[in-house]
Structure 1
Amino acid sequence: MSTSRPELKAPPEIYYDDTVAQKYTTNTRNQQIQAKMTERALELLNLPPGKSAMLLDIGCGSGLSGEILDEAGHVWVGVDISPSMLEVALEREVEGDLFLQDIGQGFGFRPGSFDGAISISVLQWLCNAETSSPTSSPPFRLNRFFTTLHASLSRSARAVLQFYPNSDDQGGLVVDYPNSRKAKKFFLCLFTGGSSSSEGEDEDNIERVQQGRGERGKKRKPPKEATKDWILRKKELYRQRGKEGVPRDSKFTGRKRKTVF
């Protein structure tokens, strides 16, 4: 097995320090890959068209996936174990609620809180034991993760988890570009009938990082006091992701139009 895989080098809260968090977030290729995988995860969630959903972004990092959820009109909550990643997310003023959370110890959300969940390149981190403690073993951490994730999802919700398995013969997966060594991506798609488990009510192991700025079911709007800055920032993000047809910047960008009676 290649030692180039980051989960084999150090625990995520150590590996993603201040330097790596900034470098990862500002890398154009990372932004494009993250955007494509998040869009694919949203597609696999198969949410009702035209409706805003409350989604959980597991391993949200600096909020790259959250921006895609924003663009799709959804409200989201993000959890991550790396303080440095969450600090970058705060600096970038992402729209979601953020929690500092070790997902291997389980979630503390109320049962049925989310209409769906996504995770990009995170699940493989739970397959490594960092200490000899029973609560650090992969079986324990995976059990806590899936049990409490199931409890936090609403009835008939889906969870789509993109990850990098140790081998290609692990079942239950959607595989994109199966014949490509570099482009191949694995998505674990889970379905739930809901849960009444009380495990989701234990909030002692979650640290709240940021208060959300929107109501469930309502699409986010740009802040009125910084409309032009908001538009310029979004246009730059679109350009970095390689989107075509982004309007050029001008002195008229963000200018209010006169009302015609």
Structure 2
Amino acid sequence: MFQMASFKIKPEHSGPPELYYNETEASKYASNSHITAIQHEMAERALELLALPEGKCGLLLDIGCGTGMSSEVLQDNGHCFIGLDVSLPMLTIAKDDEDLESGDFVWQDMGKGMPFRPGSFDGAISISAIQWLCHANSSNENPRKRLYFFFQSLYGCLGRGSRAVFQFYPENDAQCDLIMSQATKAGFNGGLVVDYPESTKKKKIYLVLMTGGVAQLPQALNEENDEGRSQIDNAGRSFVWNSRKNEKIVKGSKAWIDQKRLRQAKQGKEVRHESKYSGRKRKPKF
């Protein structure tokens, strides 16, 4: 069912994430526009799968937040967030981002548990991170135990009735079964949502976990029901199609910033004033 997309060595096979994502790799990761666009797109979908009440602005946990790409999506949608990651260089980039002002970051190995009080969060998302726990990087690491402890502590810090959504890249059925079995053992129920299952390029896998009673899983996306959603163009830019004006709004453009400003104003937030510099590309920092 789940096969490796190519013969390229995956990062999780190169050693522990705190060593793989050193200052050099973290900088390359943060400056890659294609990675940024894809991460934003997957975070938007994960947020949608959380199925938060309409209009509710919650406190969300971003597990394996990296340089804050997914945290930015949470903030743009009106939520406060706590980002957690094991790579200090990745977190340093996230903390230095002045635009990420509605949250904070925690340096923590998720395999050692979530260091938060019970019921702290209204939901959690994780983009491309959970598969790292399936690999033992030392003789005293047991993937099964680390996964169980992670899910058990996550269950505790989520409010009842909330969800956690993980986008991940399972290598095979056995790895997927391992992750799901430990989540179930920790108290979660739920299952997989596979978007675009027939597409090699667009296929994405999300594990949707619920803390309340058994509920129906969200509908997966396919070519027939994705109109109006975030997409990636040939230049690796994220955009949303505006059907009223018959044009695409590229993320970071003036039109996109204007939409974001209007959305935040409707939420009662203080927004920065509009200027002629909105949407202009900044010069590299010295």
Pick the TM interval, shorter chain.
0.7 to 0.9
* Distance in 2 (alpha carbons) for counterparts of 1:101 and 1:73: 25
Counterpart of 2:243 in structure 1 is none
Counterpart of 1:153 in structure 2 is 158
Q: Return the offset for 1:193.
A: 3.1
Q: What is the one-letter code of the residue matched to 2:212?
A: G
Counterpart of 1:175 in structure 2 is 194
Aligned partner of residue 122 in structure 2, secondary structure: strand
Aligned partner of residue 42 in structure 2, secondary structure: helix
Counterpart of 2:96 in structure 1 is 91
Q: Deviations over 1:107-146 (max 9, x none)?
A: 110000000000000000000001111xx11011001110
Q: Return the offset for 1:3.
A: 5.2
Counterpart of 1:52 in structure 2 is 57
- 1:118 aligned to 2:119? no
Instruction: Give the number of equivalent residue pairs.
Output: 208
Aligned partner of residue 67 in structure 1, secondary structure: helix
Percent identity (aligned): 50
| Structure 2 alignment gaps of length 5 or more | 178-190, 214-235, 241-247, 258-273, 279-286
Counterpart of 2:238 in structure 1 is 241
Counterpart of 1:233 in structure 2 is none
* Distance in 1 (alpha carbons) for counterparts of 2:56 and 2:139: 46
Q: Deviations over 1:11-55 (max 9, x none)?
A: 100111111111111111111100110000011000011110110
Bigger mean CA offset, 159-168 vs 68-77: 159-168
Q: What is the one-letter code of the residue matched to 1:180?
A: S
Task: From the superposition, tell whether residues 115 and 251 of structure 1 become closer, same or farther in structure 2 (CA, over 3 Å).
Answer: closer
- 1:137 aligned to 2:142? yes
Q: What is the one-letter code of the residue matched to 2:167?
A: Q
* Distance in 1 (alpha carbons) for counterparts of 2:172 and 2:166: 16
Aligned partner of residue 172 in structure 2, secondary structure: coil
Counterpart of 1:224 in structure 2 is none
| Structure 1 alignment gaps of length 5 or more | 195-238, 255-261
Counterpart of 2:203 in structure 1 is 184
TM-score norm. by structure 2 comes to: 0.68
- 1:32 aligned to 2:37? yes
Spell out structure 1 runs of 4+ moving beyond 6 A: 248-251
Superposition RMSD on alpha carbons, in Å?
2.2
- Larger RCO of the pair (alpha carbons < 8 Å, separation 6+): 1
Is the contact between residue 28 and residue 241 of structure 1 (CA under 8 Å) also seen in structure 2?
no
* Distance in 1 (alpha carbons) for counterparts of 2:237 and 2:37: 7
Task: From the superposition, tell whether residues 67 and 36 of structure 1 become closer, same or farther in structure 2 (CA, over 3 Å).
Answer: same
Q: What is the one-letter code of the residue matched to 2:198?
A: N
Aligned partner of residue 160 in structure 1, secondary structure: strand
* Distance in 2 (alpha carbons) for counterparts of 1:158 and 1:27: 30
* Distance in 2 (alpha carbons) for counterparts of 1:168 and 1:130: 21
* Distance in 1 (alpha carbons) for counterparts of 2:238 and 2:208: 26
Counterpart of 2:9 in structure 1 is 4
